[in-house]
Structure 1
Amino acid sequence: MNKKPSFLSTPRGWLILGVVASLTYFLLVEHKQHLFIFLPYLIFLLCPLMHLFMHRGHKHGEHHHHEPGADETKEEAYRRGLEQGRREAKDKPED
């Protein structure tokens, strides 16, 4: 089974991580005074963002109920529906 690699282990993830690290370094070195003025506000803004991203990993909001046949694939459902439609068309009297 092929497992999707995590975002940070992909080349795109490394690129974004490098850009974020570079921007953070630039902000800390060049704009230290400006950054420290807004630091309390940045911390408050970071809290809801961390909350959203952390809960995404826990699969919150995906409350699926297991019903019989819930594991049926789309292809199987399509074939079953196609066969049922053909049977109904064959049994239907022509006008």
Structure 2
Amino acid sequence: MMWDRRWILLSASLTVIAAIFREHWQHVLGLTPYLLLLACPLMHLFHGHGHAGHRHDRESHPKELGDIT
């Protein structure tokens, strides 16, 4: 029963979004430079947390010059 409501909500949301894009396409295209500028700081905020990117502990640094493990 819950999945039926989710599918109905999803399809209704997609229909509304498609109607907004169809009717206001020029406004949406006018906002794309600002969306790109907004994407840059968001990528900087959320990107560095994986891949052991911003660890500041001593264990993550090599012990000797040739030690990379």
TM-score when normalising by structure 2: 0.43
User: Which is greater in Rg?
Assistant: 1
Larger RCO of the pair (alpha carbons < 8 Å, separation 6+): 2
